[in-house]
């Protein structure tokens, strides 16, 4: 795969190797073969060498690097240092609520949860885009669709997500994936700002109310992109001992995303899945999650054969068995998600367990202290 690019300023062909040589903002990518060309671009302004001050709206000719501010939302110009100091903070544009369904451990019901939540939100009248971030492509299989354009085309070829999205139900669109997503992983590895590619490519998805991302059970570059794009994470946890270990890894991953990638992503909820009240381990898992996560622990999804049968019929649980226990449980979860994600609703993420989750058979009287999950204001909650 060729990595040669053309300099936006001088037209010279070159291979980007340094971060300053690629600038991505407002869905546009600029390439610079040298720092001289980058500076020329920054000082060029919007017209014949002039720019408009973002604070006082005076037109002027930029001469110094401090007169230009480059953010994820575009460039701003300032005629004086006083104007730069007085500039209001850039507000992120309003868009959909972005929720990643994620757990390091496989077999916890991630795809079932993602499909059920997306279908339930659409049933409730919300405009939903469901994105498959797993090369296994189980989202498309579960709903009986196969896209001509997939997430690979969005990430690598820059296809508008609206062109890749397939309408599968009323108010529900899907971007599918397949084995070609493995090649997208290689593409991301060679790109500057490689953990933010998905966020930039998904700018065309702002017309939806929710974007649900079904992540693979791994810490890959694709999942890093999904977590940097997401506002919130939902963690399905099957009611067994090893799934609690996966929760510990999720907490550490979210901490790393905040500390190293500077993106505060919150846990919206932890969903116990495959719950059977007759099994002691299931009751212990529920008790442990409730102790450690408080109201972040959603009501459990009971073990239900209809949830396993629904994908074989290429239907959601609400279409296949609307009166089943699985449909009842996921509908309650959907209503809780809607309540928690109202625009005026600001939710504080509680203290998370020290170095992870206390496993079954260990029930301390007070929660331990340690790992911090990013809070709504961008800092870690202690």
Give CA separation, 12 vs 139, 259, 275, in Å: 43, 37, 61
Question: Which comes out higher in pLDDT, residue 171 or 381?
Answer: 171
Closest CA to 63 of 76, 77, 82, 84: 77
Assign 354 a pLDDT band (cuts: 50, 70, 90): very low
Q: Is residue 147's pLDDT more than 90?
A: no
Backbone angles phi, psi at 74, to 5 degrees: 120, -170
pLDDT of residue 28: 64
pTM above 0.85, yes or no: no
Parse the chain into domains and list their residue ranges: 5-86, 97-340
Mean pLDDT along residues 29-38: 78
CB 115 within 8 A of CB 142: yes
* Bridge partners, residue 76, by sequence: 69
- Distance of alpha carbon 177 from alpha carbon 166, whole angstroms: 12
326, 304 Cβ separation under 8 angstroms: yes
73-130 pLDDT, tens digit each: 567 888 998 998 888 776 555 689 999 999 988 889 999 999 999 999 999 999 999 9
Distances in Å between the alpha carbon of 42 and those of 38, 63, 69? 6, 10, 9
pLDDT at 356: 39
- 261-281: average pLDDT: 90
Q: Which of 112, 108, 76 is nearest to 91 (CA)?
A: 76
CATH architecture of the domain 97-340 equals 3-Layer(aba) Sandwich (3.40)
DSSP string, 299-312: PPPBP-HHHHHGGG
In this structure, the dihedral spanned by the alpha carbons of residues 153, 194, 257 and 226, taken in order and rounded to 10 degrees, is 0
- Which of 19-28, 76-85, 283-292, 304-313 comes out lowest in average pLDDT? 19-28
Q: Strand pairing of 232-238 and 97-101?
A: parallel
Residue 335 predicted with pLDDT over 90: yes
- Reported as a pLDDT band with limits 50, 70 and 90, residue 373 is very low
Q: Would you say residue 184 has pLDDT above 70?
A: yes
């Amino acid at each position: 795969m060729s990595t040669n690019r053309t300099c936006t300023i001088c037209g010279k062909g070159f291979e980007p190797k340094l971060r300053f040589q690629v600038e991505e903002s407002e869905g546009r990518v600029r390439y610079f073969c040298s720092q001289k060309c980058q500076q020329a671009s920054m000082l060029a302004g919007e017209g014949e060498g002039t720019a408009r001050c973002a604070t006082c709206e005076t037109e002027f000719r930029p001469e110094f690097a401090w007169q230009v501010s480059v953010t994820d939302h575009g460039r701003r110009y300032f005629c004086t240092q006083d104007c730069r100091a007085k500039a209001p903070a850039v507000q992120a544009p309003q868009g959909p609520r972005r929720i990643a369904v994620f757990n390091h451990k496989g077999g916890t019901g991630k795809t079932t949860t993602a499909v059920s939540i997306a279908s339930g939100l659409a049933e409730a009248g919300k405009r939903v885009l469901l994105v498959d971030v797993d090369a296994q492509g189980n989202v498309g299989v579960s709903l009986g669709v196969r896209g001509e354009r997939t997430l690979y085309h969005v990430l690598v070829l820059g296809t508008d997500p609206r062109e890749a999205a397939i309408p599968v139900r009323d108010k529900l669109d899907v971007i599918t994936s397949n084995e070609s997503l493995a090649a997208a992983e290689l593409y991301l590895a060679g790109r500057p700002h490689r953990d933010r590619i998905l966020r930039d490519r998904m700018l065309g998805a702002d017309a939806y109310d929710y974007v649900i991302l079904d992540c693979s059970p791994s810490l890959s570059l694709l999942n890093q992109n999904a977590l940097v794009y997401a506002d919130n994470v939902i963690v399905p946890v099957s009611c067994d001992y090893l799934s609690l270990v996966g929760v510990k890894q999720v907490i550490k991953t979210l901490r790393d995303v905040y500390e190293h990638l500077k993106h505060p992503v919150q846990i919206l909820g932890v969903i116990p899945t495959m719950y059977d009240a007759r099994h002691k381990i299931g009751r212990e898992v529920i008790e442990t999650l409730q102790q450690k996560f408080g109201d972040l622990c959603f009501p459990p999804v009971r073990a239900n054969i209809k949830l396993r049968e629904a994908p074989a019929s290429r239907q959601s649980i609400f279409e296949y068995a609307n009166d089943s226990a699985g449909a009842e449980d996921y509908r309650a979860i959907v209503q809780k998600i809607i309540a928690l994600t109202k625009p005026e609703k600001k939710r504080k993420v509680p203290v998370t367990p020290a170095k992870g989750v206390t496993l079954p058979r260990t029930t301390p009287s007070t929660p331990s202290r340690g790992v911090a999950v990013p809070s709504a204001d961008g800092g870690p909650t202690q």
